[in-house]
A and B are shown apart, each in its own frame.
Chain A
Amino acid sequence: MTFGRTLAIARKEALQLRRDPRSLTLGFLIPPFLIVFFGYAITFDVDDIRLAVWDADRTQASARLVDAFVASGYFRVVDRLERYPDATEALQSGDALAVLAIPRGYARDLAAGPSPVQLLVDGSDANTATIAIEYAQGIASAHSRRVTLAERDARPTLVPDSRAWYNPSLDSRNMVVPGLVAVIISILAALLTALTIAREWDRGTMEQLVSTPVTRLEIVAGKLAPYLAIGLFDVLLAVGIGTLLFDVPFRGSLLLLLAMTSVFLLAALGFGMFLSAALKSQVLATQFAIVATYLPALLLSGFIFAIANMPRVLQLATYLFPARYYVTVTKAIFLKGVGIEVLWPQALLLSALASLAIAATVAVFRKEVA
């Protein structure tokens, strides 16, 4: 492998890239656009739950309970129901996401002991329902404590004091933006390189290349270099957008992020190049790259669904996708500010995947041109 020949390929690839509007769009316009777009669009925060109230008790005590829900900031009363059966209508029409039902005798029971109230939640969106129930339980127990303390003049017993480290406001954007950077770069990286070797076969230029002393590894390395540069640029841009536009904290080392990004990019770009070399057709390689990176990056990376909650088989499958490690890496560096002493397993496994992708590309190449 000589530096001169690798450089010749890299320069050629960069020049071609510069004149190819499709690659330029994919490399420079789409990533910042997606980050801004999804940064605004994707939010897992549940903070405006539409609540319908059926208060059959109509006492001061029951009014205070409803106030407690509203004061929490998570619930907004959209309807007051006359009859209990109206609850069905409210949930079915989607006007309300939850119904708080306070039975007659609530205040009387409260004075004597435990007093049940009912929360009906629209479970068709399980995520929101779970969060709504958690909020409601929190509000109810806090309210219950206040009532007990006020009326019996007792001292508080156990008071849990929980804090969410790294993201104290539990702002989902802080979690989404770093993960989004990883997901978007994964998808684009494979797409960018899926074209590069197949194009040479399609146009007949590969025949010419292989008649020269250039080796397969030089071709692969030379072709990777410009895309690596684009990928690093995109990540820097994403860090800028994330911190300046979305106020996401960046607590770790930028240098470490760039180093980990490079390894991750080699794995992702290498995979696209492997598809390109194996399938030898631009259309096929592109379609395959979309299927093989888009869904795993979105679903198996831990970006949307926590890997720990997946079935065992899927958990094992996630180890195959570079996006999985990179999502962890970006979140850890953005939010926790940790260093290589924590992220070394990711660095190691990403390096292994990168080596595998590049070795596989060179090997597939070998079969086609002796």
Chain B
Amino acid sequence: MADAAASAPPFAEGGEAVIVADGLTRRFGDFVAVDDLSFAVEAGEILGFLGPNGAGKTTAIRMLIGSLPPTSGTARVAGHDVAVEPYAVRRAIGYMSQLFSLYGDLTVRENLDLFAGLYDLSGERRSGRIRWALANAELEGREEQLTAMLPLGLKQRLALGSAILHEPAVLFLDEPTSGVDPAARRAFWELISDLAAGGTTILVSTHYMEEAEHCHRVALMNRGRLIAIDAPSALKASLERPILEVRTSDPSRAAAILDGLEELEDATMFGRTVHVVVSDEAVARERIAAALEREGVELGEVRRVRPTLEDVFVSLVRKSGGVVAG
């Protein structure tokens, strides 16, 4: 299904996509937060918004859920124009912000009761869904605890449970894993995959590049613009040139030295290493060794690595002559 979604044209003929953005633009004064954003997401697809802080991910999501009017362009969600039928859209979506905006001064159960009320759940469905959310967040027995006292990982699961209490067709998640520990993040992504398998359409933003591997397609965003949208594997395959991972005593100086060197495409800090995009691997290895020796930086291991999404991101931004924001 992921591959089918990946190869589908942005505006499919016939059945309408579940999320359609068409030329969405938002300005704040002179600042263009989101610039002419167009894409479509099919039912059951997980689309990841990937980009550094300030790339426009949150602003784009707020326009899609109808909490921020676009300066121009339109958004359609679940078959409704967000500007024309905001309440029809709100009934169809779940939304979780990066703040896990639960009421800290309400207990776990009171928070769930509130959202059940807001989503018009009643009777057996209401109690059933609340039981489900408690079980899903592993909060059974802690119903009477104040939400503010919960650890972040549990708050996140409770916030997700509240957002999908009404089993929405579309789910928007804005940096849902920020600040959460790796184990909780893995569990979270399993749940997201299950939801998508059940037909829920999911748009999720993150600045953790490795999380994008869980998405069927990834939209790379930088400075308000969409720079690429495709399946993670396809994006990585698009980067044809070899990438060398260089370990040195001083990665930031090494990156500065290697960046812009002849025969080397570009060099970027990547954790404690430097990733260098090259055209000819053998020539590049010699040049790297020579340049670092000249500058007195101690060279460790140099090995060819498979490109990551971050490599793709950096390369695409550079190719378009831009600078990575954030």
Which residue numbers of A lie inside 8 Å of B, CB to CB? Answer: 2, 4-5, 7-9, 11-12, 15-16, 19-20, 203-205, 207-215, 369-370
Contacts and interface: CB of A to CB of B under 8 A. Distances in A.
Interface string B4-39: 000000000000000000000000000000000000
A213 B78 CA distance: 14
Interface stretch (B83-91, B207-215, B302-310): B83-91
A4 B94 CA distance: 19
A296 B232 CA distance: 64
A4 B86 contact: no
B105 A211 contact: no
A211 B95 CA distance: 6
The bracket for how many chain B residues form the interface is: 20 to 34
B118 A15 contact: no
Contacts of B65: 211
A8 B117 contact: yes
23 contacts: A8-B116, A9-B118, A11-B113, A12-B106, A12-B114, A16-B106, A19-B105, A203-B101, A203-B104, A207-B62, A207-B101, A208-B95, A208-B97, A208-B102, A210-B67, A211-B67, A211-B93, A211-B95, A212-B119, A214-B118, A215-B87, A370-B66, A370-B68
B281 to A, nearest CB: 49
Given A15-B105, A203-B104, A204-B101, 5 more contacts: A4-B122, A11-B117, A16-B105, A207-B99, A215-B87
A11 B118 CA distance: 11
B114 A213 contact: no
Contacts of B104: 203
B68 A205 contact: no
A53 to B, nearest CB: 67
B120 interface: yes
B67 A207 contact: yes
Given A210-B67, A215-B87, A370-B68, A8 B118 contact: yes
Interface string B100-139: 0111111000100111111110100000000000000000
B120 A204 contact: no
B120 A213 contact: yes
B52 interface: no
Q: Which 10 A-B pairs have the closest CB atoms?
A: A8-B117, A211-B95, A208-B101, A370-B69, A212-B118, A204-B99, A213-B90, A205-B101, A12-B114, A204-B101
Nearest to B69: A370
A214 B95 CA distance: 14
A214 B121 CA distance: 13
A177 B186 CA distance: 65
A366 B222 CA distance: 31
B117 A211 contact: no
A212 B101 contact: no
Nearest to B68: A370
A205 B103 contact: yes
B127 to A, nearest CB: 15
Contacts of B90: 210-213
A213 B118 contact: yes
A9 B119 CA distance: 12
B157 to A, nearest CB: 15
Given A15-B106, A15-B110, A370 B118 contact: no
Contacts of B102: 205, 208
A8 B118 CA distance: 6
Nearest to A16: B105
A205 B115 CA distance: 12
B69 A20 contact: no
Contacts of B99: 204, 207
Interface in B153-172: 172
A5 B90 CA distance: 14
